[in-house]
Structure 1
Amino acid sequence: MKALLLYPRFPQSFWSYDRFMEIAGLKAAIPPLGIITVAALLPQDWDIRFYDRNVKVETEADWEWCDIVILSAMLVQKPDFHALIQKAVQLGKKVAVGGPYPTSVPQDALDSGAHYLILDEGEMTVPQFLTAIAQGESQGIFRSLEKPDVSLSPPPRFDLLQLDAYFMMAIQFSRGCPFNCEFCDIITLYGRKPRTKEPQQALAELQALYDLGWRGSLFIVDDNFIGNQRNVKRFLRELIPWMQEHNYPFTFMTEASVNLAEDDELLQMMGEAGFYAVFLGIETPDQDSLQVTRKMQNTRNPLIEACRKINDAGMLIYAGFILGFDGERTGAGERIQAFVEQTNIPQPMLGILQALPNTALWNRLQQEQRLVAGTGVTDVGDQNTLMNFVPTRPIAEIAKEYVEGFWTLYEPTNYLRRSFQQCLNITPPSGRKQMMQFTPGRGLRLVSQLIWHQGIRRPEIRGQFWRQLWAIARNKPQTLAMYLGLCAAGEHFWEYRALARQRITEQLGYDPTITPVVPEAQPTLVRL
């Protein structure tokens, strides 16, 4: 079998870092770990060609060559995903799809003409698909209620990647999350019992990347790295000596729940292992909204104190924030802005609440007949969308707080000041020369581009750039590479905030920040 594995393009989004990639001479932030793991599950006698279309596009010769096209996608990749299915069908090729998007909304892929839906987790459903192929079945939907033992998962096919095109590499240690946040689809997709790989299994993946020549940042893509704290400590106890023996070839970032700040031993071990950053799902400083959305782990201790502890442990904080919870009080956007300023989180991901299919939130809103068809990330496929349900306060008010909040948070002088202060707040672990690493050869290009764009070309931030750069180099040299990376990322966000404003304005029909709020027509409710 000749299989063409394709990973669809991402539109410009919060996480696409388009301008950063251009400045750094890169193509994409991280590789698609899911589809290269699927590649490892396919028979060894299959011929495989793989393209991450964010890095390099396949040729017409590749389309002619293949017997089957295999796609994996997230919701944000929706436009290119459907275009690829339709092209394959037009060319008479069989199409197999999987990943979070088709798993959540399988009918979309069927409507575009996909023949095989390999849903849920591939370790369980790829073998079903292969059996169907061997038996000559021309179509099928493959699902599994069982969750695989990830300690038996094969190592991803890192050899298929064009390593020098990415900002960071990626591995996965665990799947699932023990919490019960109403809006989250992770527990729907992967369950509430975190399953982990064995420490030696994860180290073997790191060794494979090391042997391929990778040096620099590495993202552990778990949705909650500390979901199983016992097993993550087992992993860290073996990771620390491995990193020491290999002279710290990688620096790590990951995602974790805020209760990370409650475990001093875990914080210390992550610092010793080389973690430089963590993404936290803070969502909102409003305690009543956290309770409504069942994010009780964020209510146990003061969130500002939790952020301080994580900085003290040597880690930069990225964080997600959401507007639009039921019962949310006016001014939620301003309170999020105030929290971000107090904690100096450089890159707050501010979003409008979406009801994702099959989540507890989706099911509740469906029962309440509050879901709205034709809007939201599920239908539109990008992040800058109004909610896909009728909220408990006016949509125009939420949109105004979102656009104003995003615009203010990513105003260049505000952004650079937070980036500077966050780096000063971090307490680097002893012996660490640099908290974050660039791949060899990227640093010089990045610095030269930054000097031009922020140190010369932009008079409104030129003085601030040079003052802060000098202060970081003098007072916290271990965070210099981290600070430069944040500065470069600013170029992306300063463009993206205008796009976010434009997209919301188009959906509302007016700019919520400058047009007087007028009585709005209620959206047509369609029971889904």
Structure 2
Amino acid sequence: MKALLLYPRFPQSFWSYDRAMKMAGLKAVIPPLGILTVAALLPKDWEIRFYDRNVSLETESDWEWCEIVILSAMLVQKPDFQALIQNAVRLGKKVAVGGPYPTSVPQDALAAGADHLILDEGEMTVPQFLEALAQGESGGIYRSIDKPDVTTSPMPRFDLLQINAYFMMAIQFSRGCPFNCEFCDIITLYGRKPRTKEPRQALAELQALYDLGWRGSLFIVDDNFIGNQRNVKRFLRELIPWVKQHNYPFTFMTEASVNLAEDDELLELMAEARFYAVFLGIETPDQDSLHLTKKIQNTRNSLIDACRKINQAGLLIYAGFILGFDGERVGAGERIQVFVEQTGIPQPMLGILQALPNTALWNRLQKEQRLIEGIGITETGDQNTLMNFCPTRPIAEIAKEYVEGFWMLYEPSDYLRRCFQQCLSISVQNSWQQTMKLPLDKGLRVFIQLIWHQGLRHREIRGQFWRQLWIILQRKPQVLNMYLGLCLTGEHFWEYRILARERITQQLGYDPLTAILLPEQAPVLARS
């Protein structure tokens, strides 16, 4: 079988870092592990061509060559995903699809013309798909309520990547999360029992990336890296001698629940293994909202103290925040801004709550008849989409707080100040320790670009840029790469805040910051 594996393009979004990637001479932030794992599950005698369309595009000859097109996508990739299915149908090619988006909303893929829906986790359903093909079936939907033992999961086909086109490489150690947050679809997709690979498996994947020549930062993409603390400690204890033996070729970041701050041993192991950053789902400083959405792990201790402790362990904090929880009080956006100011978190991901398909929130709102069809995350999949349900306070109020908050959080001088504060607040254990690694051969280009754009061209911040850079060099040169990386990604956010404001304005029918109506556009807020 000749299979063309395609990963759809992302629209400009919070994590796309478009301008920053262009300045660094890169194409995308991280590679798509899901479809690379599917590639490893396909028969060895299949011919495979793979394109991450965020890096390079397939050609007409690729379409002519293939017998089947295989796609994987997340919700945010909907436009390109559907266009690819439709193009394959037009050319008479069979189409197989999988990933979080088709798994959550299979009817969209069927409506677009997909033949085979390989849903849930591929280790369970790719064999079903292959069996159907062997029996000559022209289509089918393959599902499994059972979760695979990821210790038997194959190594992703890293060899298919153009690795030097990415800002970071990626591996996965675990799937699933033990918590029960109402709005989260991770437990719907992967369950509440965290399943981990064996340490030797993860080290073999790291070795493969090392052998391919990767030197730089690496994202462990687990939705909650510390969901199974026993096994993650086993992994870290074997990772530490591996990175030391290989002369520290990678530095790591991951995602974790905020109870990371409660485990001193885990923090120490992560720092020793060269973890430099962690993404925390903080969501809101409002305790009543955290209780209502069942994010109980965030209510046990002070969130500010937790952030400070994680910084003291040597980890940069990225964090997610959400507006629009039921019962939310006026001023939630301002309280998030105050929290970010107190903790110095450089890149807060501020979003408007969406009811994701099949989550506990979705099911509750469906019973309460509060879901609204035709808008929401299944339409655009980004954080700046108006809610797809009727909230308990006016949508216009939530939208205004979102735009005001995002606009202020990413005001250039405030952003750079937080980057500076966070880098200085991070404890570095050794004078030679690297906190972040820029991709091989990209560091000098990034530095030159920043000198031009922030040190010379951008008048409002150039004095601040030079002053802060000098202090970093004098006081804590180990965090220089981290600081420069944050400065670089700031270029993306200064553009993205304008796009976020425009998107909300288009949906509201007026600019929430100025209350100026758009010409010839009826507001969508009549329902509220």
Give runs of aligned pairs for residues 221-300 of structure 1, distance below 5 A. 221-300=221-300
Provide the rounded CA distance (Å) in 2 between the counterparts of 1:347 and 1:46: 43
Give runs of aligned pairs for residues 281-430 of structure 1, distance below 5 A. 281-430=281-430
- Structure 2 CA distance for partners of 1:438 and 1:399, relative to 1, 3 Å: same
Give runs of aligned pairs for residues 157-236 of structure 1, distance below 5 A. 157-236=157-236
Residue 435 of structure 1 is matched in structure 2 by: 435
Provide the rounded CA distance (Å) in 2 between the counterparts of 1:317 and 1:196: 24
- Structure 2 CA distance for partners of 1:134 and 1:520, relative to 1, 3 Å: closer
Provide the rounded CA distance (Å) in 1 between the counterparts of 2:524 and 2:386: 15
How large is the Cα RMSD of the aligned pairs?
Answer: 1.3
Give runs of aligned pairs for residues 502-521 of structure 1, distance below 5 A. 502-515=502-515
Retained in 2: the 8 A contact 1:223–1:256? yes
Residue 22 of structure 1 is matched in structure 2 by: 22
Residue 73 of structure 2 is matched in structure 1 by: 73
Q: Which runs of 5+ in 2 are unaligned?
A: none
Q: Give, in angstroms, the shift of residue 438 of structure 1.
A: 1.2
Q: Give, in angstroms, the shift of residue 440 of structure 1.
A: 2.1
Provide the rounded CA distance (Å) in 2 between the counterparts of 1:111 and 1:383: 25
Q: Give, in angstroms, the shift of residue 379 of structure 1.
A: 2.3
Provide the rounded CA distance (Å) in 2 between the counterparts of 1:17 and 1:365: 33
Provide the rounded CA distance (Å) in 2 between the counterparts of 1:440 and 1:109: 38
Letter in 2 for 1:221: V
TM-score, length basis structure 2: 0.98
Retained in 2: the 8 A contact 1:6–1:72? yes
Provide the rounded CA distance (Å) in 2 between the counterparts of 1:377 and 1:363: 16
Q: What's the secondary structure of 2:467's corresponding residue?
A: helix
Provide the rounded CA distance (Å) in 2 between the counterparts of 1:114 and 1:441: 41
Q: Give, in angstroms, the shift of residue 516 of structure 1.
A: 8.1
Provide the rounded CA distance (Å) in 2 between the counterparts of 1:285 and 1:382: 22
Summarize deviations over 1:486-519 as a string: whole Å, max 9, x none.
Answer: 00101000000000000000000001111189x9
- Structure 2 CA distance for partners of 1:521 and 1:350, relative to 1, 3 Å: closer
Letter in 2 for 1:412: P
Provide the rounded CA distance (Å) in 2 between the counterparts of 1:78 and 1:383: 15
- Whether 2:113 is the aligned partner of 1:96: answer no
Residue 488 of structure 1 is matched in structure 2 by: 488
Provide the rounded CA distance (Å) in 2 between the counterparts of 1:151 and 1:308: 35
Q: Give, in angstroms, the shift of residue 76 of structure 1.
A: 0.4
Letter in 2 for 1:190: Y
Retained in 1: the 8 A contact 2:256–2:280? yes
Q: What's the secondary structure of 1:371's corresponding residue?
A: coil
- Structure 2 CA distance for partners of 1:342 and 1:41, relative to 1, 3 Å: same
Letter in 2 for 1:83: A
The aligned length equals 524
Q: What's the secondary structure of 2:178's corresponding residue?
A: coil
Retained in 1: the 8 A contact 2:325–2:391? yes
Provide the rounded CA distance (Å) in 1 between the counterparts of 2:433 and 2:302: 32
Q: Give, in angstroms, the shift of residue 524 of structure 1.
A: 5.7
TM-score, length basis structure 1: 0.98
Letter in 2 for 1:274: R
Q: Give, in angstroms, the shift of residue 14 of structure 1.
A: 0.2
Provide the rounded CA distance (Å) in 1 between the counterparts of 2:16 and 2:234: 33
Q: Give, in angstroms, the shift of residue 432 of structure 1.
A: 4.1
Q: What's the secondary structure of 1:511's corresponding residue?
A: coil
Q: Give, in angstroms, the shift of residue 123 of structure 1.
A: 0.1
Q: Give, in angstroms, the shift of residue 148 of structure 1.
A: 0.0
Q: Which runs of 5+ in 1 are unaligned?
A: none
Retained in 2: the 8 A contact 1:434–1:477? no
Provide the rounded CA distance (Å) in 2 between the counterparts of 1:376 and 1:399: 13
Provide the rounded CA distance (Å) in 2 between the counterparts of 1:404 and 1:414: 14
Q: Give, in angstroms, the shift of residue 120 of structure 1.
A: 0.1
Residue 120 of structure 1 is matched in structure 2 by: 120
- Structure 2 CA distance for partners of 1:87 and 1:521, relative to 1, 3 Å: closer
Residue 35 of structure 1 is matched in structure 2 by: 35
Retained in 2: the 8 A contact 1:7–1:32? yes
The percent identity for this pair of structures is: 80
- Whether 2:3 is the aligned partner of 1:3: answer yes
Letter in 1 for 2:343: T
Provide the rounded CA distance (Å) in 2 between the counterparts of 1:229 and 1:267: 11
Letter in 2 for 1:495: E
